[in-house]
Amino acid sequence: MTVELLSTTDAQKWAQEFVRMHGGDEGLMISWFANAIETGRTFAPVEPSQLAVYAENQVEVNKSRGEYASAVQWQNIAAAAHYLVQLGERIAKKEAAKS
């Protein structure tokens, strides 16, 4: 299913795959992916690796403030960003193997 994700902006499909692979709250991930997809349409693209670094930073910021629920959300975002990095690497390998 992961390759099919590249051809859709359906947040529910992205969330279902993420939850299948990493666990978590599907409703939360639907809202995260929907927001990410819409933000991506509005703002300049950000590399998933940059998002992962930012999200990991936000985890620490939120923990230091005692905002543990927010920290968990940022952990989910970081995990999603790392997943996107890994997905991109796998796709690149498959494309390279075809050539």
pLDDT at 42: 64
| Amino acid in position 74 | W
| pTM > 0.75: yes or no | no
Half-sphere exposure of 41 (CA within 13 A, CB side): 6
Residues of the chain with confidence (pLDDT) below 70: 1-3, 42-45
Q: Whole domain around residue 82: which residue ranges?
A: 2-98
- Total residue count of the chain as it appears in this document: 99
Q: Which two tokens stand for residue 7?
A: 């051809």
C-beta of residue 80 within 8 angstroms of C-beta of residue 49: no
Total number of domains in the chain: 1
Distance CA 12, CA 42 (A): 20
pLDDT at 7: 81
pLDDT at 2: 58
pLDDT at 99: 75
Distance CA 31, CA 23 (A): 15
In tens, the pLDDT along 51-74 reads 888 889 999 999 999 999 999 999
pLDDT at 6: 79
